[in-house]
Amino acid sequence: MIATATFGLEAVVRREIEALGYRIIKTEDGKVTYMGDERAIVRSNLWLRTADRVLLKMAEFSAVEFEELFQQTKGLPWEQLIPLDGRFTVTGTSVKSKLHSVPACQKIVKKAIVEKLKEFYGVEVFEETGAEYTVKASLLKDRVTLTVDTSGTGLHKRGYRISDVAAPIKETLAAAMIQLSFWKKDRILVDPCCGSGTIPIEAAMIGRNIAPGLNRTFACEGWDFIPANLWKEERKAAFDNMNYEQPLDIYGYDINSKAVKAAQENAAEAGVDDCIQFCRADIRNLNSEGDNGIIITNPPYGKRIGEEDEISEIYEALKKFFKENRDWSLFMITTDKEVEKKVMGRKADRRRKLYNGRLETCYYQFHGERK
C-alpha cells in the first residue's frame, strides 16, 4: 500500500501509519509505502488525517519499451481486483523516462488490462457499470509503478466543510500543523485568523479521537474483494472510540463575520461545535485565555488574500501578544521569509518547508517559556 502525502509531511504520515500498527517499507518524497491487508485499506482511509490518498500498489518494474510495459502489466492478476462489470480508467505521469508520452503509456496499460480481463472472463465487451477502479501508471527514471486508488475523492474532503471562505487551508495540512505542534488536549489552542474554522475543527477532531473519514464514502467501498462487514466493523469501532467527554479549550477568531458564521456551520457539521468558541474579533485586541496556550494559524499571505497593510497589522498584534505572554507558543504557516524578524525578533525553534496548495511555505514553530 502507498499513502501519498504533501511534500514535507511524509514523516507525519509515517507516524500515523505506524500508530495504526502497520509496517513501513520505505518513505520517499510524497509517499509512504507500507504493508497491509483488506482491513488496512479500510482503516487507513478512515483514520489517516494527513495523507492525501491511499493507493493499492499492484507492481513496480523497469520498462524502456512499450512492449515491456504491455507484457508486464498484462502479467499482473487484474482479475483478482477488477470484476466483470468493473469501471476502470488509467491515468499516468512520466518523469525522466524513455517512455515519455503519458497518453501513449496510459493507452498501453489500459489495453494490457483489458486483454488480461478478456482472457479471464471470456468476453469481448465490458459494460463497466460497477465499482470504480482508477489505475495510475507512474514512470520515474524508467521505473514503472502501477497503483489503484482506494480513496476516490482526496482524503482532505472530510465532508464537514459545507461553508467556505477565500483561500481555505486543506484539512490534511491543518491536521499536520496540529500534530507537528505536539498540542495536548489539556492545553488552550487559539487560531486568531480562523477563516472557515479548519484548524480549530481538526484540533477538536483530534482531541475527541474522531476518525476524519467517518462521515464520507470511498471508491473501494464497492470493491468485491473487501468484505462489506469490514466497513461496518471499523466504522463501529471508530464510533466506539470517540471521546465526547473530553473537555477541550479551543478558540477561533476572525475579523470577518461571514467567516465566523461559516466556521460555526462547519463545526456543527463535524460534530464539534460544542467544544470550540468561534467569535468575530480583531486580532489587535487578542488577549490571553490562560497560561501556556498555543496559537496555530494560517494568516493571509498577500499572494492569496490580504493586503500588505493588513498583514503588517497582524504581525504587530502577534508581536505585542507574545511580548506580554511569553509562556505561549506560536505555530504559523506563511510564505513570508522574514516572519521571524517581524513577529518574534528571533529565530524559530523549528522550521519546516511545506506546500499549501502550490505555494511553497514555511511552518515556523516558536516555543514559549516554561512557567
Question: What is the pLDDT, as a whole number, of residue 168?
Answer: 82
Distance CA 262, CA 275 (A): 16
Q: Using one digit for the tens of pLDDT, what is the confidence trace for 148-171?
A: 999 999 999 999 999 888 778 999
Supply 199's cell numbers. Answer: 484548524
Q: Using one digit for the tens of pLDDT, what is the confidence trace for 320-360?
A: 999 999 999 999 999 999 999 999 999 999 999 998 888 89
- pLDDT, greater one: 182 or 371: 182
Question: What is the pLDDT, as a whole number, of residue 69?
Answer: 98
Question: What is the pLDDT, as a whole number, of residue 302?
Answer: 65
Question: What is the pLDDT, as a whole number, of residue 308?
Answer: 76
Mean pLDDT of the chain: 94
pLDDT at 309 exceeding the cut of 80? no
Find the mean pLDDT for residues 243-247: 92
Question: What is the pLDDT, as a whole number, of residue 370?
Answer: 81
Question: What is the pLDDT, as a whole number, of residue 5?
Answer: 96
Closest alpha carbon to 169 in 366, 361, 365: 361
Q: Is 304 strand, coil or helix?
A: coil
Question: What is the pLDDT, as a whole number, of residue 303?
Answer: 55
Supply 330's cell numbers. Answer: 506560536
Whether pTM exceeds 0.85: yes
- pLDDT, greater one: 304 or 88: 88
Length of the chain equals: 371
Q: One-letter amino acid identity for 246? A: Q
Q: Is 45 strand, coil or helix?
A: helix
Question: What is the pLDDT, as a whole number, of residue 49?
Answer: 98
Q: Using one digit for the tens of pLDDT, what is the confidence trace for 251-282?
A: 999 999 999 999 999 999 999 999 999 999 99
Handedness of CA 237, 243, 249, 255 (dihedral sign): positive
Distance CA 45, CA 96 (A): 31
Question: What is the pLDDT, as a whole number, of residue 147?
Answer: 98
